[in-house]
Structure 1
Amino acid sequence: MTGRIDHLVVTAQTLAAATAHAEAALALGLGAGGAHEKMGTHNRLLSLGAEDYLEAIAPDPAATAPAHPRWFGLDAPGAPRLSHWVLRVEDMEAALAEAPEEIGPAVAMERGPYRWRITVPGAGGPPFGGMFPALIAWDTPPPAPALPDAGARLVRLSVSHPRAGALGWALSMLTSDDRLVVHEGPAGLSALIHTSAGERMLT
């Protein structure tokens, strides 16, 4: 399948903390985002080019907490970090058939003019402790082309996991994005991002 990295996800207990973490790592300011009523979250965004972007996201204190688990582990977000990533697919049903069962169902979401479906795991959490991506299928044009271009570009997303072989095999069913590298080690994500001031690492 031809899935591509859609966006990177920085999480924290507050949106200010998630934003500050990303901005300190990249020396770039994040722009406005919006709120997700169904998940009780809000975000800010940074373009990584015409097809992908960076999202800082956190629980929205002004929103009602949902009765179901929030996405991206945001019921217990922990320290600010690059914690998740999202893979864009064209055929959600076919992708779900290839993905690990724990990935959860595809949930219809909306924010402003945007409509999409994204997988949200249940209380057991995402496959491979979050190192396997959420799957997204856009039902409207995605936000990436509309974001101000600050010149940042994703060079490489490194995914580390103790079961790297199994993770790499599972990912190979869905994507051949050459920016993705899987290796053995403690579970974690790091993104090498090119900026006008040079290459920066986001973890």
Structure 2
Amino acid sequence: MTAHLDHLVIAAADLESGQAWLEDRTGLKMQPGGEHAYFGTHNALLGLGGSYLEVIAVDPAAPAPAYPRWFGLDEGEMQERLAAGPALVHWVVTVQNMGAALRLSTEDHGEALALARGSNRWQLSVPRGGALPMGGVLPSLIEWESVSPASNLRSAAVLERLTLTTLDPARLSAALETLDFTGTPIQIEPGPTRLQATLKVNGREIQL
């Protein structure tokens, strides 16, 4: 079993401001994503060459779900954080067999939900209560049953490095080793929980 980066997650208080924030930093135009009816969210996407970055926010036009939204978007702490501006809060890795990955992992990634939008079909691990696993540094798992959106996205940005800061580096390292994560340069550092992505765009290094 192997796992590789599927996408990075930037959460925002609203989609328009989140998209503008990322476009201003990268100089790149994001592409439309869509609505997630199950959680009442919507997103916009930026290709990273084989993976992608999404800006996600609560969809004000969608009815509120009867359960907590993913990525902690309903939590007061997250809402207070996003009031100060968009933030890189999480990452998601592709696995070949969701059931096997959940059984073998040393951590609790949540339960696998079967989700769909248009022709897209996928399973996603979502922690009970919607909170981010290990504060966001432990990835969620995704198994695509259709083609990943990354294959249809323009790409002028390259992810050079993902830095994961956690109070328990050994625990996170063990979890990624169990998942047999490969492909993306990952740097794990000790300290308060934080994610930082370093992109290369037209020769410029940009940190998110």
Quickly name the TM-score band, shorter chain normalised.
over 0.9
SS at match of 1:141: coil
- Extract unaligned runs of 5+ from structure 2: none
Q: Does 1:129 align with 2:126?
A: no
SS at match of 1:102: coil
Aligned match for 2:171, one of 146, 162, 166:
166
The letter of the residue matching 1:130 is: G
SS at match of 1:65: coil
Question: Does the CA-based 8 Å contact 1:100-1:127 persist in structure 2?
Answer: no
Report the number of matched residues.
Answer: 200
Q: Does 1:114 align with 2:113?
A: no
Residue of structure 2 equivalent to 1:82: 88
Taking every aligned residue pair, what percent have the same amino acid on both sides?
Answer: 43
Correspondences of 1:125-164 after superposition (within 5 Å): 125-149=131-155, 151-164=156-169
SS at match of 1:103: coil
RMSD: 1.5
- Extract unaligned runs of 5+ from structure 1: none
Q: How far does residue 116 in structure 1 lie from its aligned partner after superposition?
A: 0.4
Residue of structure 1 equivalent to 2:104: 98
The letter of the residue matching 1:71 is: W
Mapped partners of 1:126, 1:99: distance in 2: 16
TM (norm. structure 2) is: 0.91
Mapped partners of 1:145, 1:42: distance in 2: 19
Question: Does the CA-based 8 Å contact 1:47-1:53 persist in structure 2?
Answer: yes
Q: How far does residue 94 in structure 1 lie from its aligned partner after superposition?
A: 1.1
Mapped partners of 2:183, 2:150: distance in 1: 17
Mapped partners of 2:171, 2:11: distance in 1: 25
Mapped partners of 1:124, 1:153: distance in 2: 29
Runs (4+) off by over 6 Å: none
Q: How far does residue 100 in structure 1 lie from its aligned partner after superposition?
A: 4.7
Question: Does the CA-based 8 Å contact 1:102-1:126 persist in structure 2?
Answer: no
Mapped partners of 1:167, 1:94: distance in 2: 19
Question: Does the CA-based 8 Å contact 1:45-1:55 persist in structure 2?
Answer: yes
Residue of structure 2 equivalent to 1:61: 60
